[in-house]
Structure 1
Amino acid sequence: MSVAAGASSFLYRKPKLRLGILLSAPLLWLGLAYLGALAALFVTAFWSTDTFTGQVVTSWSLDNFVTLFTEDVYRTITVRTVGIAALVTVVDAVIAFPMAFAMAKFCSPRAQRLLVIAVMTPLWASYLVKAYSWRVMLSGNGLWSWLLGATPGYGVTATVITLSYLWLPYMILPIYAGLDRLPDSLVDAAGDLGARPWRTFTSVILPLTFPAIVAGSIFTFSLSLGDYITVKIVGGASQMLGNVVYDNIGAANNLPFAATVATVPVVIMLVYLAAVRRTGALENL
C-alpha cells in the first residue's frame, strides 16, 4: 500500500481528525487576523500618547478609560450611538416582518426567488452611492421635501433613515428564512381553534419566529453601532462612536484613545450576543 493510500485510509477512519485538518487553515487565519487584531486593540487601549511628540507611549495606564467614562461628551455619544443602533433595529424589524411574511406565505416559489433577488440587489450597489443618494433625497430641494413638503434635514433623524435603508436586507432575509420554516399547519390549527388573526400572530407566529428576528437584529444593531460614514454624510453635527475613533486616528493622531473608544462597541456586542444566545438566534444566522 502506498503512503497516500495509507494516509487516506487512516483519515477515513478518523473523521474528527479529518475535520480538524480541513478547518486548521481558516481557524489559523481567524486567530491571526481577527482575534489577534482584537488583542492588539485591547492592549493599545491601555497605552497613551505623548502630547509633545505625538508618539505612542507603551506604558500601561487607565487614563484613556478614565477620560472616556468621566467626560460627559463621550457618555452622550455612547448613549446616542446605542440609541440610534436600537432605533434602526426596531424600524427595520417593523418594516421587514410584513415583507418577509408576504414573501414566505403568500408568494409562489418563483415569486419568492425573484423577491429574494430584489431584496439582495441593493447590497450589490456601492455603500457610498446609497448614502449620498439619501443625502440628496433628504436635502432641502430633494425628493423627501417634494413629496412631504418638509425635510428632516441632516442629523440623527437622517442618520436613522439612511441606516435603516442600508441594513434592511439583513433583517428581511433572516426573518424570511424563519417564516419559511414555520409550518402552515400551525397557523391553520390556531384558526381552527378559534384564534383571531392578532392572537394567532402573538401566540404562534411571533414566538416561533422571534429567534429569526433577533438574528436579524444582530446584523442591524452591530452594523449601526460601528458605522461612521453615514454620520459623516447625513449626520450633520451629530457624532457616533465610530466618528470618535476615526477622528482620533486621523486629525488627533491619538491611536491609544481611538482603541479605547473602539472597545466600547465590542463590549456592547459581546454583552448583546451573550444575552440573545438563549433565544436560539445564533442558530438562525
Structure 2
Amino acid sequence: MPAAPRLRDKAALAFLLVPPLAWLVIAYLGSLAVLLVSAFWRTNSFTGAVVRTVTLDNFARVLTEEVFRVTTVRTVGVAITVTVVCAVLAVPLALYMAKFASPTMQIVLVVAVTTPLWASYLVKAYAWRMLLSPEGPLSWATGYSPGYGLVATVVTLTYLWLPYMVIPVFAAFQRVPDALVDASSDLGASDLTTMRLIVAPMVFPGIAAGSIFTFSLSLGDYIAVTIVGGKTQLLGNVIYGQLVTANNQPMAAALSVIPLVAIVGYLVAMRRTGALENV
C-alpha cells in the first residue's frame, strides 16, 4: 500500500477515535479520578467546607463503623438476590422465545420484554409502590402484601432490570445450533442431560453477561429503595445522604469506592466466563 493512502487512513481513524476517547478520558475517567482524590479530603467541622488535606479518616470510618458494614452487606446481598431471581425468570422465558415460539410470537415476546425499557423509571417504581402498598391492589386481590421494605425493593429492582437479563440469555439460546441438540438426542442423551452438558455451557456466558447489568444496576440504585424500601437503607441512599443531607462530599466519595471496587471485581470474575464478549 502506498504511504500516502496509509497516512490518510490513519488520519481518518484518528479523527474518528479521538473525540470519543477524549470524552472517555476527560469526562468519565477524570470524574472518577476526582472522586477518588476527594475521598482523601475532609470537611471542616464548623463550616462544613471541604479541606483539601490528605487523610485516611474517611476510609477508617467506612471500615470500622458498623452502620456502613451492615449497609454494604445488605446492598451486595440485594444485588446478588436480584441477579439470581432475574436469571431464574429469564432462562425459561428466553428458552421458549428462542427455541419454541413461532416467529410471530417471538417478535411479540421480544417487544413485550423490551417495551418497559421505554417507560420512565420513576413511573415504574411508583407503580410498584402503589401495587405493594398495604392497602393496594395486591392486598385486595390476595389478602397479602409485603408492604414497603427489603422484599419490595428486591421485587421492584427485579422488575426494572429483568429485560437486561432476558435479552442476552435469549441471544445466547439463539446461538445454540439445533443440529447439536438433535445430535445429542440421537446419541441417546435425555433432555436433562442435553440441557446440562450441551446447552448450559453455551448459554452460561449470556447469563453472566446479563448478570453484569443486573448486579451493577442494583448495586448503585438508590431511587427504587427510596420509593418502596421504607426504612431500608442501601449504599446508594447512604452516599446520597452524606452528599446532600450531611454535606460531606469526602465521606460520600469514600463510600462510593465500595460499589466501584465491587463492580470492578465482578467484571474481572465475569471476564473468565466469556461474558464480556456477550455484552
- Where on the TM-score scale, by shorter chain, does this alignment land: which range? over 0.9
**Alignment of 1:96 onto 2:90:** yes
CA distance in 1, matches of 2:110, 2:11: 38
SS of residue paired to 2:189: coil
Q: State which of 2, 11, 19 in structure 1 corresponds to 2:13.
A: 19
Which stretch has the larger CA shift, 33-42 or 109-118?
Answer: 109-118
Q: Is the aligned partner of 1:139 residue 2:133?
A: yes
Equivalent residues in 2 for 1:154-173 (5 A)?
154-173=148-167
Q: Which amino acid aligns with 2:49?
A: Q
Supply the AA of the counterpart residue of 1:83: G
More moved, 108-117 vs 262-271 = 108-117
Distance 1:193 1:28, change over 3 A: same
Residue 94 of structure 1 deviates from its aligned partner by 0.3
> After TM superposition, where is structure 1 displaced by more than 6 Å over at least 4 residues in a row?
none
Deviates more, 1:143-152 or 1:260-269: 143-152
Q: Does 1:151 align with 2:135?
A: no
Aligned partner of 1:65 among 59, 75, 88:
59
* Alignment of 1:254 onto 2:248: yes
* Pairs within 5 Å for 1:92-131: 92-131=86-125
CA distance in 2, matches of 1:28, 1:7: 27
Cα distance in 1 for partners of 2:175, 2:137 equals 39
Letter paired with 1:275: A
User: Superposed, which structure 2 residues align to 1:217-256 within 5 Å?
Assistant: 217-256=211-250
**For the residues of structure 2 that align with 1:280 and 1:238, how far apart are their CA atoms?**
35
Shift in Å, 1:7: 10
Give CA deviations for 1:21-45 in whole Å, capped at 9, x if unaligned: 3111111101111100100110011
CA distances 1:80-119 after superposition (whole Å, capped 9, x unpaired): 0000000000000000111111111112333323322221
- 5+ long unaligned stretches in structure 1: 1-5
Residues 121/8 of structure 1: CA separation in 2 closer, same or farther (3 Å cut): farther
Q: In structure 1, give the amino acid aligned to 2:213.
A: F
Query: Gaps spanning 5+ residues in structure 2: where?
Result: none
* Counterpart in the other structure of 1:49: 43
Residue 184 (structure 2) pairs with residue 184 (structure 1):
no
1:37 aligns with: 31
Q: What residue is the counterpart of 1:3 in the other structure? A: none
Q: How far does residue 17 in structure 1 lie from its aligned partner after superposition?
A: 5.3
**Distance apart, 1:143 and its partner CA:** 2.1
Which residue type is aligned with residue 250 of structure 1? V
Q: How many residues align?
A: 278
- AA aligned to 2:29 is L
Q: Distance in 2 between matches of 1:21 and 1:77?
A: 46
SS in 1 for 2:147: coil
TM-score, normalising length: structure 2: 0.96
Alignment of 1:211 with 2:240, yes or no, is no
Q: Which amino acid is 1:205 matched to?
A: V
Deviation digits for residues 201-250 of structure 1, max 9, x if unmatched? 11111111100000000000000000000110110111000001110111
Larger mean CA deviation between 150-159 and 81-90 belongs to: 150-159
Structure 1 position 10, deviation (Å): 4.1
The CA deviation at 1:188 is: 1.1
Q: Give the Å deviation of 1:181.
A: 0.9
CA distance in 1, matches of 2:202, 2:5: 45
Q: CA RMSD in A?
A: 1.6
Per the TM alignment, residue 167 of structure 1 is displaced from its structure 2 partner at its CA by 0.2
TM-score (norm 1): 0.94
- Partner Cα distance (1:65, 1:10) in 2: 51
Q: Aligned partners of 2:11 and 2:192: how far apart in 1? A: 51
Q: CA deviation at 1:11?
A: 4.2
Distance (Å, rounded) in 2 between the aligned partners of 1:236 and 1:155: 5
